[in-house]
Amino acid sequence: DTGVSQDPRHKITKRGQNVTFRCDPISEHNRLYWYRQTLGQGPEFLTYFQNEAQLEKSRLLSDRFSAERPKGSFSTLEIQRTEQGDSAMYLCASSYFSGGGEKLFFGSGTQLSVL
C-alpha cells in the first residue's frame, strides 16, 4: 500500500493555459475525492467519484474544471483557461465506502500557481 499519490507536486502556469493533475488512489478504495485548499484555510470539497461515476460537483467547480476517473482507478482534474484565482493546493483523497463511517486518506497535493 503506497498511499494516495498525486502528480505533479507543483505546477506553475501562465494565466489562460490549461493544466491537468493526476491522482492515484489507494488500490482497493472505491471512492475518490478532490478538494481545494487556499492559503490559511482548510480544504474545501470539489467533487467525488464512486468507482467511475462522478456523483457530485460543488458549485466551487466552475465550467472550466472537469474531472474524470476512467475505469474507476486513477483520476484527472483539468482546469481550462486558468485564472489567478485558481492558485491553490489541489488535494486528492480516497476511501473505501461500504455504508458505514468513511475515513479519507489524502495525498500530498498539487500546488498550482497561476501567474
Partner 1 sequence: AQKITQTQPGMFVQEKEAVTLDCTYDTSDPSYGLFWYKQPSSGEMIFLIYQGSYDQQNATEGRYSLNFQKARKSANLVISASQLGDSAMYFCAIPRYNQGGKLIFGQGTELSVKP
Using CB under 8 A, list all residues that contact partner 1. 9, 31, 33, 40-45, 48, 56, 89, 91, 93, 95, 97, 101-109, 111
Nearer to partner 1, 80 or 106 (CB): 106
Cell numbers 465506502 correspond to what residue?
97
Q: How many residues does the chain have?
A: 115
Rg (CA), the chain: 13
Contact criterion met (CB below 8 Å) for 79 and 111? no
H or E element that contains 112: strand 110-114
Q: At closest approach, how far in Å is the CB of 8 from partner 1?
A: 12
Nearer to partner 1, 47 or 82 (CB): 47
* Interatomic CA distance for residues 6 and 9, integer angstroms: 7
Nearer to partner 1, 31 or 69 (CB): 31
Nearer to partner 1, 74 or 105 (CB): 105
Q: At closest approach, how far in Å is the CB of 112 from partner 1?
A: 12
Q: Is 86 helix (H, G, I), strand (E, B) or coil?
A: helix
Q: At closest approach, how far in Å is the CB of 43 from partner 1?
A: 5
